[in-house]
C-alpha cells in the first residue's frame, strides 16, 4: 500500500512479484488504514517513510534502509545494477495558485469530466491514470490555502513536465470559466 501520489514503480514491482498493490489517500493514517484493511505486509509514502506491520504501524526510514541493504546484499548486485532493474519514472510536482473565492471543487469536477474516458480515482482529489501511456496526474486541493497541487508522473521527465503543464492549463481554463 502506498498513497496516490507515490510512484507507479511501486505498483509495477509489486505486481511483477505476484503481489497485490493498493493505493490510499495521502497521509500516514490513510496508508495504515488501507494496510490493515488489505493485510498488507509493507506500505508507505513517497517520502521514504516505510511501514512494516511486523515491526509497527508507523513510518520508519531506518526500516527502509535496512530492507534495502539486506536486499542489496542478498542480490549480490551493485546499486547501479539494482537500480537499472527497476522501472524508471519521473515525477513533476507543481501547484497552481488561485484566489480565495475560486470554486476549487467545481474546477476538479470539470477536470474529472474532461478526462472521464480515462481511469479516475477520487479518493483524495482527482487522480487520472493514463494507463496505456503509463502516466498519471494527481490533483489535490489544499485545505489551508487557495492552491491545487499537481503531481504528474511519466516514463520521461519531459513527458511528466508536459503532462503537468497540460493539466495546469486545463485548471486555468476552468478557473476562468467559473
- What's the pLDDT tens digit per position in 3-18? 999 999 999 999 999 9
Domain end residue (candidates: 84, 118, 139): 84
Q: What ranges in the chain are assigned the alpha helix state H?
A: 8-16, 28-38, 61-75, 79-84, 104-114, 157-177
CATH of the domain at 102: 3.30.310.50
Model confidence pLDDT, tens digit, residues 23-34: 999 999 999 999
Are 80 and 105 in the same domain? Answer: no
Domain end residue (candidates: 32, 66, 84): 84
- Could you give the maximum distance between any two Cα atoms of the chain, in Å? 57
pTM higher than 0.75 for the full model? yes
Range of the domain at 26: 2-84
Are 46 and 80 in the same domain? Answer: yes
Coil/strand/helix, residue 8: helix
Domain end residue (candidates: 84, 116, 139): 84
β-pairing verdict for 90-97 and 50-51: unpaired
Asked if 60 contacts 53 with a C-beta cutoff of 8 angstroms, the reply is no
The pLDDT of 18-43, averaged and rounded, is 97
Are 97 and 45 in the same domain? Answer: no
Between residues 116 and 61, the one the model is more confident about: 116
Amino acid at each position: 500500500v502506498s498513497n496516490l501520489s507515490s510512484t507507479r514503480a511501486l505498483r509495477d514491482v509489486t505486481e511483477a512479484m505476484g503481489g497485490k498493490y493498493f493505493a490510499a489517500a495521502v497521509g500516514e493514517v490513510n496508508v495504515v488504514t488501507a494496510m490493515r484493511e488489505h493485510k498488507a505486509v509493507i506500505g508507505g509514502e513517497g517520502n521514504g517513510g516505510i511501514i512494516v506491520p511486523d515491526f509497527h504501524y508507523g513510518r520508519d526510514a531506518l526500516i527502509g534502509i535496512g530492507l534495502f541493504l539486506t536486499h542489496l546484499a542478498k542480490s549480490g548486485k551493485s546499486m547501479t545494477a539494482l537500480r537499472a532493474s527497476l522501472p524508471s519514472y519521473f515525477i513533476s510536482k507543481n501547484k497552481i495558485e488561485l484566489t480565495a473565492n475560486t470554486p476549487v471543487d467545481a474546477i476538479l469536477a470539470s477536470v474529472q469530466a474532461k478526462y472521464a474516458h480515462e481511469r479516475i480515482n477520487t479518493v483524495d482529489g482527482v487522480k487520472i491514470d493514463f494507463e496505456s501511456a503509463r502516466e498519471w496526474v494527481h490533483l489535490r486541493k489544499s485545505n489551508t490555502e487557495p492552491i491545487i497541487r499537481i503531481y504528474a508522473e511519466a516514463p520521461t521527465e519531459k513527458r511528466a513536465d508536459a503532462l503537468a503543464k497540460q493539466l495546469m492549463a486545463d485548471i486555468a481554463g476552468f478557473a476562468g470559466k467559473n
